[in-house]
Structure 1
Amino acid sequence: MNKNALFHKLVLFTSSVHRVTTELTKDVKSELITQVQYKILEYIAVNQSVTPSEVSECQNISMPNTSRELRKLMEKGLIEKITDTEDRRKQFVCLSDKGKTMMNEAFSYIESRFLTRMQNASEEDLAEIEHALDILQTKVFY
């Protein structure tokens, strides 16, 4: 296969992923948080325990802005900071119980939208989609 053509398919695919993600997550966040804060919470929810620098890098936000947003989320009781027992300079961020509840509600809403999109897919289609996602996760998005 032509690797250039494959790359262009990847670009089209990632663009579609962003569009569908936007559609699935539209209006899912609480009015108590900003879109940036929601994206941070979503990242923490998926990755469990992360460092502020990982949040900064993945969300493409400067460290000062990341620190500010994390502080606001902590003030709202949605995240907790945990100091590393081996290196006290290192901190991890995880969801608080309140944050877990908020994100579980958001993911439940997103799941219902996803299931609506998939309602006409056959069992064979679903198996192929699952297989394709597994391959993408191990070969491209690792």
Structure 2
Amino acid sequence: MDKETLFQKFVTFTTAVHEVTHELTKGIKPDDITPVQYSILEYIAVSQPVTLSEISDCKDISMPNTSREIKKLTEKNLCEKYSDDEDRRKQLIRLSEAGQTLMDGAFQRIGGRFLDRIKDASPEELADIEHALDVLQSKVFY
């Protein structure tokens, strides 16, 4: 397969990933947080601890807006800032206990929807899916 064809398949795949992610997460976000705030919490949950600049870069949000959203999430007791032990000037962000509980519940619901999507896959297909995810993670999404 030539690289252009492979790239087109990748574009189709990433579009499908966004569509399935939307389906899996629809209705998961609590009403008292915005979609941007939920997205930030999701990122913190899988990458913590993180810095403001990492959130800003990954979510494509300006630093002032990222700071403002983190302040709101901190006020809602969903995340917390703390100083890095090795560099006291560096501020790290992690989920608070309430934030971790919220995201654990969200991921549990998303996981249930995911398992429902793959419920008819054979053991061989599940192994193929796992292998494909491992390859994508190590070669494309590193």
Per the alignment, residue 103 of structure 1 pairs with 103
1:83-140 CA-to-partner distances (Å, cap 9, x unmatched) read 1123222111000000000000000000111111111111111000000000000000
Tell me what 1:93 maps to: 93
Hey, what's the Cα distance between the residues in 2 that align with 1:67 and 1:8? Answer: 37
The one-letter amino acid of 2:117's match is: R
CA distance in 2, matches of 1:5, 1:139: 17
CA distance in 2, matches of 1:45, 1:82: 16
The equivalent residue for 1:120 is 120
CA RMSD of aligned residues (A): 0.7
Alpha-carbon distance between aligned partners in 2 of 1:91 and 1:2, rounded to the nearest angstrom:
45
* Aligned match of 1:34: 34
Q: Which residue does the alignment assign to 1:130?
A: 130
Answering whether residue 76 of structure 2 is matched by residue 82 of structure 1, we say no
Alignment correspondent of 2:2? 2
Aligned mates of 1:54, 1:125 — CA distance in 2: 35
Q: Secondary structure at the match of 1:131?
A: helix
CA distance in 1, matches of 2:22, 2:58: 17
1:12, distance to aligned residue in structure 2 (A): 0.6
Q: Deviations over 1:22-73 (max 9, x none)?
A: 0000010111211100000000000120000000000010001000000000
> What SS does the corresponding residue of 1:11 show, helix, strand or coil?
helix
> Distance between the aligned counterparts of 2:19 and 2:99, measured in 1?
25
In the superposition, the TM-score normalised over structure 2's length comes to 0.98
Aligned mates of 1:96, 1:13 — CA distance in 2: 34
**Where do 1:4-19 residues align within 5 Å?**
4-19=4-19
Match of 1:51 in 2: 51
Shift of 1:11: 0.7
Q: Structure 1: give runs of 5+ residues left out of the alignment.
A: none
Identify unmatched segments of 5+ residues in structure 2.
Answer: none
Work out the number of aligned pairs and report it: 142
